[in-house]
């Protein structure tokens, strides 16, 4: 995810030392966090509780290592898409700031990049916004494909959380594994490291491509539709999201709503809104704007 609000006054494209140490520390922390959740079958809270009682359980170190490598590759590819595009367009930017969170099944909440987006024109903003999701999706799809091929018939554990699959993952399961009974989702105990990394990759891609605020999708929508239409779309999506959450009692998404409100629903102006996108960017943009439909799981994670 890119954040155009981040203020960066250095003219150099190479971040100074103090802007390198923290991203590297957070990268290491996120790697350790994802390794940890992988070793405990993505059930960190229950294992933290057991450890607090002095109860040591079996840890699947190889699974943790595989999950760490795969999911961090997916997330790094997404963020480096933004970073390299910022370098290409000479937009000052930070290295990715990862968000380690060892108490959630994923082990991380992804990463953000600070960039001085006010220097970008409409065309550059489009490139900055779309580069990360497309790069991440290019890795996520083969990872998910391999994870689907590795699905084993495992009976769900009572009380397991249920991960609702996005449409793209459902289509892939129906195609690759027509023998699988329920492509709509997985219980936590049914995941393998590749499948979990693929699910997380689609969540991150779909979430970031929501056409609102300063999410990647907000950048793309602003560049594609223009200021007025992008703002109308963002406000309409916010109203729809509130109604969806209330009707379906999907209260975990409330945190996302708070983030959107804090960032601001509307996208700020670019340095030059008159810059033309060209036919190729228009085609890519209209395809990318529908990424959330296929990659974002609106029902998220529930008790099932």
pLDDT at 10: 33
Helices (H) and strands (E) in the chain — how many of each? 11, 6
The domain spans of the chain are 2-303
pLDDT in tens, the chain (304 residues): 665 543 233 333 444 455 889 999 999 999 999 999 999 988 888 777 777 666 666 788 999 999 999 999 999 999 999 999 999 999 888 899 999 999 999 999 999 888 877 788 999 999 999 999 999 999 999 999 999 999 887 777 777 889 999 999 999 999 999 888 788 899 988 899 999 999 999 999 999 999 998 899 999 999 999 989 999 999 999 999 999 999 888 888 888 888 888 878 888 888 888 889 999 999 999 999 999 999 999 998 887 6
Phi, psi dihedral angles at 170 (to 5 degrees): -65, -45
pTM, two decimals, is: 0.89
**Residue 210 confidence (pLDDT):** 93
Q: What pLDDT does 207 receive?
A: 93
Consecutive H or E run containing 73: helix 61-88
């Amino acid at each position: 995810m890119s954040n155009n609000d981040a203020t960066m006054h250095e003219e150099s494209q190479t971040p100074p030392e103090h802007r390198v140490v923290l991203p590297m520390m957070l990268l290491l922390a996120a790697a350790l966090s994802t390794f940890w959740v992988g070793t405990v079958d993505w059930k960190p809270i229950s294992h933290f509780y057991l450890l607090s009682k002095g109860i040591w359980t079996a840890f699947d170190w190889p699974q943790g290592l595989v999950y760490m490598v795969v999911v961090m590759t997916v997330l790094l590819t997404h963020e480096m898409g933004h970073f390299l595009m910022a370098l290409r367009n000479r937009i000052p930017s930070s290295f990715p700031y990862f968000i380690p969170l060892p108490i959630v099944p994923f082990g991380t909440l992804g990463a953000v990049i600070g960039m001085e987006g006010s220097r970008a024109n409409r065309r550059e903003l489009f490139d900055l916004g779309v580069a990360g999701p497309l790069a991440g999706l290019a890795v996520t799809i083969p990872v998910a494909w391999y994870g689907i091929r590795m699905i084993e018939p495992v009976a769900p554990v009572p009380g397991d959380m249920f991960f609702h699959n996005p449409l793209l993952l459902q289509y892939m399961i129906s195609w690759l594994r027509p023998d699988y009974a329920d492509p709509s989702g997985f219980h936590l105990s049914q995941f393998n490291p590749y499948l979990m990394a693929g699910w997380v990759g689609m969540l991150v891609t779909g979430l970031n491509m929501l056409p609102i605020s300063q999410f990647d999708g907000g950048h793309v929508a602003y560049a594609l539709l223009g200021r007025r239409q992008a703002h109308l779309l963002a406000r309409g999506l916010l109203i729809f999201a509130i109604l969806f959450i209330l009707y379906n009692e999907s209260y975990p998404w409330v945190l996302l709503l708070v983030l959107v409100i804090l960032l601001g629903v509307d996208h700020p102006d670019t340095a030059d809104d008159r810059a033309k996108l060209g036919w190729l960017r228009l085609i890519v943009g209209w395809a990318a704007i529908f990424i959330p439909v296929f990659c974002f799981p609106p029902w998220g994670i529930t008790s099932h």
